[in-house]
Chains A and B, each alone.
Chain A
Amino acid sequence: MTDLAENQISTDSPLGEVAGDQSSMPSGSVALSARPEIIGGPPPGAATLEARDACAWFGDRLVLEGVDLVMPKGKVTALIGPSGCGKSTFLRLLNRMHELIPGAALDGEILLDGNDIYAVGTRAQQVRMRIGMVFQKPNPFPAMSIRENVLAGLKLARLKCDDKDTLVEQSLLRAGLWKEVRDRLDSPGGALSGGQQQRLCIARSLAVYPNVLLMDEPCSALDPTSTRRVEETIDELRGEVTVVIVTHNMQQAHRVSDLCAFFLAEENQPGFVVEQGDTLEMFSSPRDPRTLDYVEGRFG
């Protein structure tokens, strides 16, 4: 009988918590108002990210050509397009993860508040600290506790914070995970469910207060409830952080994003942006027939 009771709590709670979180936390601003100071961390607030004529190679192969895209401060920009058109590659250009792949090269400029992140003398670590990333597959550090996971960014970037407890609580709150894990912050991060792990990864990225958050299909491995929770998190981050999200889910792009860019690669040709602009406009009255076909699910 004890078993039964526990089962019901655990199946019910995520739904209950969604409602609870919304009433107790009308927006992300509660978390932001009492933000603990991080010494050496990114400057406060969101930042505009802009790609100018961005191109990317893997070895000899040009996979992305001439992308011009502005991802304005505090807005959510969705990148959509069929598989293999270079969305992930573009995303990884934006925080210098692309250069980690042997043989990878790029051209063009990526401007963070007007400064080229690839400029000589700019360190990749500095850039990545300001531009966080959430991956398709949840990748918490399994041997570290939940708390250590959230604080991993501080440790890795050698930042100092004198109020770590508040930071952990706020980051988990902002990622919508606090209520589920507050009683077991010391249990390992690998012991969470997939959806919880993904939100832990979001909390981990948010803990250094990045100016931009990149998300590569963050919900593709999640169930509908967790997906909804992550989408709410993205919604709450609007204004505080610039979000760039890759998604294959048209409804999701429609629901969460302010702006949208449609990528496409013709056979054996590099990917490029067919159309970009306001999400609602692009979904209701796209200018390019290929965009119309894609958003209506006729190919891709």
Chain B
Amino acid sequence: MLLSQTDGVRNAVAGIALEDNPVAQPPPVVERTRRVIAEVPSTADRNFNRLTMGAGISVLLLLLLVGGFLLIQSSDALSETGIWTFLTRTEWRTDVQPARIGVLGLLAGTVLVAVVAVGIAVPLSVLCALAITEYSTAKRRKWLVGVVDLLAAVPSLLFGLWGFLFLSDKIVPISLWLSQNFGWIPLFETQENAGLTGSIFIAGIVVALMVLPIITSVVREVFSQTPPGEKEAALALGGTRWGMIRNVVLPFGQGGIIGGSMLGLGRALGETIAVALLLPQVPQKLGESIHILENGGATVSGFIANRAGADAFTTSGLLAAGLVLFIITLATNMIASVVVSRSRSGAGVDI
């Protein structure tokens, strides 16, 4: 009596007879084939399908075209310098013969600016997203979302100009304070008489403001999908709003926070105009330690913008640097989307 039909089948397979149970006869073994479902889509469906597929493929094609273009154009510089040398050399000198060019100094600057930017923007964005989703009335929420979206719409040139002309001077005291109090951390060390404007730190702050809206909007989207049942459970157990956020909203939004940060990182890596204006665009030296608080540094995109239009060989070299940036950004974005879609919260969010 306890045996269900599947048990019966298993028993039959195992060769056990079921004589004491006349009801549960094992079904006769038949070789089964699956029926084919012949679906004929309507003309409208078929055409629309083609259209959407075409659009999707064209985007992919564009990506391949850009990548291919970069590869071909940079082949001159790469073959002359050697790929490995190009990747590991920090200096960039076209005034000597043969030219000594390498991308590592630029990459170091890029990564530093991006890390500073993300390090500042992520905590701010998370707080901002919490203010919007958890601590606002419906009316204030709408207003705040509008303001953050507006920030995203400001052209990055304006950010750069503002950072260059206004913010730089205001940050100098902070840089000074940091170097005086945390100078023992190698990164925060400054040399005597070094200028504190035009530093990687300041560029990072400006880029942070630029990536803030995108990170905020991803994180906000994820937070707003926290299951209301779990939030109510936390409150009903006697939790404060903050306790609820810490135990329910933040753990749920973890994937979104990581994904949003990576997405922001991808943006920060490619940010051009602001850093081109702010940094002196001298490739970072790696031999000595890196000082992010003092004047100096360059990023791939800023450097390209500064040097564009030089001789053929330099252009080829710049495009090779661009190719490296292209690959890194692509990888960051792909990792970001994988992280977000794998997490519990991110399943429904596309970034």
Q: Are A156 and B243 in contact (CB under 8 A)?
A: yes
B248 to chain A: closest CB distance in Å?
7
Interface residues on A, range: 20 to 34
Q: Which of A114-122, A125-133, A252-260 contacts B (4 or more CB under 8 A)?
A: A125-133
Asked if A201 is at the interface (CB within 8 A of a chain B CB), the reply is: yes
Residues of B within 8 A of A153 (CB): 237-238
Contact of A128 with B235 in the complex, beta carbons under 8 Å: yes
A7 in the interface (beta carbon within 8 A): yes
Query: Within 8 Å CB of B185, what residues of A?
Result: none
Q: Does A156 contact B247, Cβ atoms closer than 8 Å?
A: yes
Closest CB in chain A relative to B179 CB, distance in Å:
40
Q: Does B56 contact A (CB under 8 A)?
A: no
Interface contact B233-A135, CB-CB below 8 Å: yes
State which of A137-145, A161-169, A238-246 sits at the interface with chain B. A137-145
The reply to whether A156 and B14 contact each other, CB–CB distance below 8 Å, is no
**B240: interface (CB < 8 Å):** yes
Q: Min CB distance, A44 to chain B, in Å?
A: 16
Measured between beta carbons, the chain A residues less than 8 angstroms from B14 are 1
**A141 & B248 in contact (Cβ 8 Å cutoff):** yes
In the complex, A21→B232 CA distance in Å?
A: 31
Tell me the nearest residue of chain A to B2, going by C-beta. Answer: A8
Q: How far is the CA of A125 from the CA of B247 in the complex (A)?
A: 15
Give Cα distance in the complex from A152 to B238, angstroms.
10
Contact across chains for B230 and A141 when beta carbons are under 8 A apart: yes
- Is there an interface contact between A156 and B234, defined as CB atoms closer than 8 Å? yes
The answer to whether the Cβ of A87 comes within 8 Å of any Cβ in the partner chain is: no
**Which residue in A97, A102, A142 is a CB contact (below 8 Å) of B236?**
A97
Asked if residues A208 and B237 are in contact (CB atoms below 8 Å), the reply is yes
Q: Which residues of A contact B239 (CB under 8 A)?
A: 125, 156-157
Among residues of B, the one whose C-beta sits closest to the C-beta of A12 is: B2
Give A59-106 interface residues, CB cut-off 8 Å to B. Answer: 95, 97, 100, 102
Q: How far is A146 from B232 in the complex, measured between Cα atoms in Å?
A: 18
Known: A1-B14, A141-B248. A125 touches B232 (CB 8 A): no
- Contact of B229 with A125 in the complex, beta carbons under 8 Å: no
**Which residues between 141 and 186 of chain B lie within 8 Å of chain A, taking CB atoms?**
none
Q: A1, A3, A143, A204: which contacts B237 (Cβ < 8 A)?
A: A204
In the complex, A50→B344 CA distance in Å?
Answer: 42
Asked if B232 contacts A135 (CB within 8 A), the reply is yes
Contacts of A157 on B, CB cut-off 8 Å?
237-239, 243
Is there a chain B Cβ closer than 8 Å to A184's Cβ?
Answer: no
Interface residues in B211-246 (C-beta closer than 8 Å to A): 227, 229-230, 232-240, 243-244
Q: Tell yes or no: B26 within 8 A of A by CB.
A: no
A4 interface contact, C-beta 8 A: yes
B195 to chain A, nearest CB (A): 49
CB-CB nearest 10 A-B residue pairs: A129-B238, A156-B239, A157-B238, A139-B229, A153-B237, A133-B236, A139-B233, A156-B243, A128-B238, A156-B237
Give 7 CB contacts A-B under 8 Å: A7-B7, A97-B232, A125-B240, A128-B238, A142-B344, A156-B240, A158-B243
- Give me the interface of B with A, judged by CB distance under 8 Å: 2, 7, 10, 14, 137-138, 227, 229-230, 232-240, 243-244, 247-248, 251-252, 344
